[in-house]
Amino acid sequence: MSLERPSVDSLPHTPPAGYFYTIRDHSARFWRVDLVHPPIYSYTSKVVSTIWGFLSKKTLQIYAPVNSKTPGKIIPSELTTPWSAMFPPKVSPLVKLFS
């Protein structure tokens, strides 16, 4: 059982160039992992971040985000990307044929 906050080095990816991850408390069961963007936006001087995913405090399993406040289903780390822990989109066989 792990209740100590993991380091960002324990995530399955390194962040994209210019970005970095932060891990913070979300609830009694989860930590929230955010992808923090570089400060290049002209419309705001605030830090811009997006939800990457959620980590279970007990098992350190990765949960795909439903939205920024709701953890979804467990996702295998090999299906995650440096940008998000969301499930990849389902592609029809016809679209696969032409791509």
4-62, pLDDT tens digit by residue? 888 888 889 999 999 999 999 999 999 999 999 998 877 888 889 999 999 999 999 99
Range of the domain at 64: 8-80
Residue 97 counted as domain residue: no
Residue 20 counted as domain residue: yes
- The answer to whether the CB of 85 falls within 8 A of the CB of 63 is yes
Residue 65 counted as domain residue: yes
Rounded to two decimals, the pTM is: 0.85
3-class SS at 97?
Answer: helix
Total tally of structural domains belonging to the chain: 1
